């Protein structure tokens, strides 16, 4: 990495044919916020707003080759990691980071289940993420079910979010954790951030909408792009949450199921 961040984000994730989540949402987010998006595709999914109908993994060696090609030429200021699918994919990414990552901060969105309920991560991969990927993560951004799967802590309320964040940082080794509260019932959504400086709770009113597809991908990518431009992690989260709220409000209303966000709203302002 160079001393001066340049807004380069390497996105390692699966493709969403419906354009609402995954690589497509990541690229839209990074581009809308003024960064430069590069990709290593881990899987091609067959999906739309109604659900996932197929998942076709890219060979792990091809994922690593994509990463190496990007890093050998363009470089990256921050890595954003999303859907990986299998333990072999996780290991390939970890090995690539140690080999060519050049110390780039990693924003890890541990995608396990699609919005419609389809599983996107094998059971054996969860253990590898916890043991091998978590220690290189500058920030991990699980929702409540993902935090439960990674930590074994029940995440049903604010206390559960704080306890899970503590495990992610102080036991599993992530530098920081943002345990999201969108899956927890209530009119207010609370996201719990734990860094080396302590806890911070972000609050926002719940928006009643069908436009929830790709919210996790979008938030993590927004954090990554702000970080890639030189922002510290806590202000990156604050700005990313503000971007996400507006993207939800500007949703185009496409599809019959879990609808996509309006990622390019800053470009229309």
CATH at 132: 3.40.1190.20
> Are the beta carbons of 167 and 196 closer than 8 angstroms?
no
In this prediction, residues 60-86 reach a mean pLDDT of 96
Within a domain: 92: yes
The whole-model pTM stands at 0.95
Cα–Cα distance between 146 and 114 in angstroms, integer? 11
Within a domain: 201: no
Q: How confident is the model at residue 54 (pLDDT cuts 50, 70, 90)?
A: very high
Cα–Cα distance between 81 and 102 in angstroms, integer? 16
Cα–Cα distance between 172 and 132 in angstroms, integer? 9
Range of the domain at 101: 8-142+212-253
Cβ neighbours of residue 23 closer than 8 Å, sequence gap 6 or more: 11, 13, 14, 15, 16, 39, 41, 82
In this prediction, residues 6-34 reach a mean pLDDT of 97
User: Which residues are catalytic, by number?
Assistant: 180, 212, 214-217
In order, the DSSP letters of 13-59 are EEEETTSSSHHHHHHHHHHHTT-EEEEEEEEEEEEETTEEEEEEEPP
Average pLDDT of the chain, as a whole number: 94
The structural domain count of the chain equals 1
Tokens of 37: 């998006």
Tokens of 70: 């990007």
Share of the chain above pLDDT 90, in %: 88
Cβ neighbours of residue 3 closer than 8 Å, sequence gap 6 or more: none
Residue 106 pLDDT greater than 90, yes or no: yes
Within a domain: 239: yes
Within a domain: 67: yes
User: Which pLDDT score, from 0 to 100, does residue 118 have?
Assistant: 60
Within a domain: 186: no
User: Which pLDDT score, from 0 to 100, does residue 126 have?
Assistant: 86
Residue 2 pLDDT greater than 50, yes or no: no
Only one residue has tokens 């200021």, namely 77
User: Which pLDDT score, from 0 to 100, does residue 125 have?
Assistant: 84
From 79-88, 116-125, 159-168, the region with the lowest mean pLDDT: 116-125
Cβ neighbours of residue 91 closer than 8 Å, sequence gap 6 or more: 60, 128, 132
């Amino acid at each position: 990495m160079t001393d001066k961040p340049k807004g380069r984000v390497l996105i390692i994730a699966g493709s969403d044919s419906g354009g609402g989540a995954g690589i497509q949402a990541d690229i839209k987010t990074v581009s809308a916020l003024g960064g430069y998006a590069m990709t290593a595709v881990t899987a091609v999914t067959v999906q739309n707003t109604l659900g996932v109908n197929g998942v076709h993994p890219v060979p792990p060696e091809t994922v690593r080759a994509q990463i190496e090609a990007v890093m050998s030429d363009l470089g990256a200021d921050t890595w954003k990691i999303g859907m990986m699918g299998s333990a072999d994919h996780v290991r390939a990414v970890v090995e690539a980071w140690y080999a060519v990552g050049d110390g780039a901060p990693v924003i890890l969105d541990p995608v396990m289940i699609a919005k419609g309920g389809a599983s996107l991560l094998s059971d054996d991969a969860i253990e590898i993420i916890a043991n091998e990927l978590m220690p290189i993560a500058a920030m991990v951004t699980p929702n409540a079910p993902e935090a439960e799967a990674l930590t074994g802590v029940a995440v049903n309320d604010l206390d559960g979010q704080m306890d899970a964040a503590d495990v992610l940082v102080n036991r599993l080794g992530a530098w920081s954790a943002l345990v999201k509260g969108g899956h927890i019932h209530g009119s207010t959504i609370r996201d719990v951030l734990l860094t080396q400086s302590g806890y911070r709770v972000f609050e926002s009113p719940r928006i009643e909408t069908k436009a929830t597809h790709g919210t996790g991908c979008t938030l993590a990518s927004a954090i990554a792009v702000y970080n890639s431009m030189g922002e510290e992690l806590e202000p990156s989260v604050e700005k990313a949450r503000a971007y996400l709220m507006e993207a939800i409000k500007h949703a185009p209303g496409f599809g019959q199921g879990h609808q996509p966000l309006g990622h390019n709203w800053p470009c229309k302002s």
